Amino acid sequence: MTIVDSHCHLDDHKFDEDRDSVIERALAAGVETMLAIGTGEGPPDLEAAIRLADQYEPVFATVGIHPEHAPKATDDDFAHVRDLLQHPKVVAVGEIGLDYYWQPVHRDEQHRALIRQLEIARDARKPVSIHSRDAWDDTFALLEQHWNGHELPCVLHCFGGRPEIAQRALDCGYYLSFAGVVTFPKALDVQQSAKLAPLDRILVETDAPYLAPVPRRGKRNEPSYVVHTARRIAELRGEDPGGFCSAVIRNFQRVFSASGSAAAHPKG
């Protein structure tokens, strides 16, 4: 059984002492491609994931300014995002979006950063990976105004919404990427969302080093653990795990083929 990890933070300092081993374990577990998210610690350094993609063949990269870093983003930083999209292993803009959980929220700055990066992604014909926390209404409003209708993929990363939110996203043509939360016993809404989503709109991710799935919950998460999430979703849906993983790989290929990158062609 092979699978992809469509969202992981391999640049995180928690991997500094054993990053090589983490990637080796992922490959041994059947995780043939890992998409490293390039927000890092925010501008001016936006190349954290690119450095890893250059070093490790199975790793591809995104670039973007996370909503938490929006207040410090300058015009030069947005121009840098645009320039970095020319790198051959950069396949998407992300993670970008809105986060109203942490105080102070800086809504205006977050909205500005999201809109600017949606425009950059549209111009570059790249998909986007969207972060939305406690901000669904505003996230949908901005996506519907600045993204919908451009026939480019949109991934709602680490999807944790209720079924009605999932349906709204699906109606817009978005993809739902499920992380370890879907394996938690009390995550009934997320599990229902994973069950109702069409098979051709599902991705799986770790969001490593965060949110390790059952049976690794509470430990540092890593890409090899994505197999637990994939198996749990297949179980919830009553599907064969191998067939489910093959479908997820095809979805990954479809999303990231917009960039023309080799990341869109893992074996599966």
- The per-residue pLDDT for 72 is 95
Pick the CATH number of 3-262 from 3.90.550.10, 3.20.20.140, 3.40.50.80, 3.40.50.1100: 3.20.20.140
Q: Along the chain (268 residues), what's the average pLDDT of each consecutive run of 10 residues?
A: 97 98 98 97 96 98 98 97 98 98 95 98 98 98 96 97 98 98 98 98 98 97 98 98 98 81 50
The DSSP result for 61-81, as a single string, is EEE---GGGGGG--HHHHHHH
Report yes or no: 148 and 194 within 8 Å, Cβ to Cβ.
Answer: no
Structure-block tokens of residue 207: 């969001």
- The per-residue pLDDT for 257 is 80
> How many Å apart are CA 150 and CA 46, to the nearest integer?
26
Beta bridge partners of 90: 61
Q: What is the value of pTM for the model shown?
A: 0.95
- The per-residue pLDDT for 268 is 46
